[in-house]
Structure 1
């Protein structure tokens, strides 16, 4: 789930529709969805706009922090600067509904919540798995569901068993729930008298994926949307191993003292679900399976 308190990123070149993905590119960036997607237009809802705290409404533009290395959820576009992806489209629709604009800033995943706490960002949108540790620091508004997925090279030549990866080399992104899982599994290997898992920890998920494609690692584990997208982008080199497990909601992040704003975001999510925008965005990015009907603050 992204990121232990955290985050993964398969920043491969995006090519739509997803069913046609097959690029071997591992470049930082991608192509936006164009003719293969349905356009989305969202009008502001005055009643929802009135829920936005005055200091935010007066500002008018939200600074949004995101780790843009997590395709297809958030990644840098062809210009190397613009943050794009499913999460971007969803939150931009929420902001439109609230009568607000967004300004996206790329940053390291493990610094995003601190950025919200410090006031650097008004919001952080970066595939954060909702958990108790994070809810103690910030407010989180649920909007999507994802689990963890193992990936190996085609044919699983190293015989990777997700239930017993002792002695294997496994790639994972820094600051993620998957890294916590590997640490726990390694401890168990040692307790059982087996070789520990050799963890290859990268700052960006794109590097985790590249290491697996190149054979530097035997397997990787990541959030299911990102892992399965990486498989689609490298169909001749990678394959999913086992089933997705431990599904949990993603949450938009706002400061702990901004409960009114968190409530407004939840209501805006309900509104874009009702008018069809939410489902259209997920369809455009091939992520319908992660859609939810319940949008709540700190579920």
Structure 2
């Protein structure tokens, strides 16, 4: 999510403008608690990689780097970091590959995978029926939706009755679909529609609530938790996490062999303990899954 190269550097998030966070549970920390675990190549799994990718030794991924702590820009303003990035690098290393990350707008990643611009989309994609039609999705994490408001909830937000309120959300996410349906329900009940504020980046979503432009936000649960933590008390969560669903790596429909290789690598990391170590380093272990699936 590199639309405006982030409104602020990650290290300055807490000053007045909160950064985004992602689903999964636990209380994510801003940076990992140690170096990423070393990963060895598994020759059997590496043999599963399609020759076209194996030949150049790297895999090109599209990532929206505004979704901390999953994928976001480091303080240098160019390096993409996050639990999603560390985990996928471990997946790639298991397969004997290096990762080349290309920042992209979230809504452009799946079309980019379909066109061949990216070989994999790695950007906290929630698995849903529409995306499964567009691509193969290799699961690796579980997250739900969580709301946040300005501290003290001055606008009196009730997630179950947001009618007439100004709600911030990132475009092209499952939360954008969620709030649209809630607004339709408001109108059907004879109440004012939700005033939806769609933003290209998750950092802008949180910023809009901190500054009072919008009354509330909703995002993946780890993202919201991170935004609240980084806001230095300016934001608070409200309501429970709901609609938990898996994240998936996005792979083109004609790349079944690649999807199977990624699935096998995720399962290898789960079995050897590397997966748990990476999630724990980022404080998102509550979103761990027991195994990876393709288009569950």
The answer, yes or no, to whether TM exceeds 0.5 is yes
SS of alignment partner, residue 59 of structure 1: coil
Corresponding residue of 2:141: 144
Identify which of 232, 236, 252 aligns with 2:233: 236
Cα separation, 2, equivalents of 1:22 and 1:108:
20
8 Å CA contact 1:22, 1:232 repeated in 2: no
Corresponding residue of 2:15: 24
Corresponding residue of 1:64: 61
Residue by residue over 1:109-163, the C-alpha shift from the partner in whole angstroms, topping out at 9 and shown as x without a partner, is 0000000011100111000001111111111100000000010111111111111
Map 1:105-184; keep pairs closer than 5 Å.
Answer: 105-184=102-181
Give unmatched runs, 5+ long, in structure 2: 21-28
Cα separation, 1, equivalents of 2:235 and 2:131:
32
Matched, 1:277 2:274: yes
SS of alignment partner, residue 293 of structure 1: coil
Matched, 1:200 2:191: no
Matched, 1:263 2:260: yes
Cα separation, 1, equivalents of 2:18 and 2:57:
34
Shift of residue 44, structure 1, vs aligned partner: 0.4
8 Å CA contact 2:74, 2:80 repeated in 1: yes
8 Å CA contact 1:11, 1:70 repeated in 2: no
Identify which of 86, 99, 103 aligns with 1:102: 99
Corresponding residue of 1:288: 285
Shift of residue 27, structure 1, vs aligned partner: 8.1
Cα separation, 2, equivalents of 1:193 and 1:68:
39
SS of alignment partner, residue 152 of structure 2: coil
Residue by residue over 1:248-286, the C-alpha shift from the partner in whole angstroms, topping out at 9 and shown as x without a partner, is 000001111111111111110111112211111101111
TM value normalised by structure 1: 0.90
Shift of residue 59, structure 1, vs aligned partner: 2.2
Cα separation, 1, equivalents of 2:115 and 2:246:
25
Count matched residues: 285
Corresponding residue of 2:251: 254
8 Å CA contact 2:19, 2:202 repeated in 1: no
Give unmatched runs, 5+ long, in structure 1: 4-9, 16-20
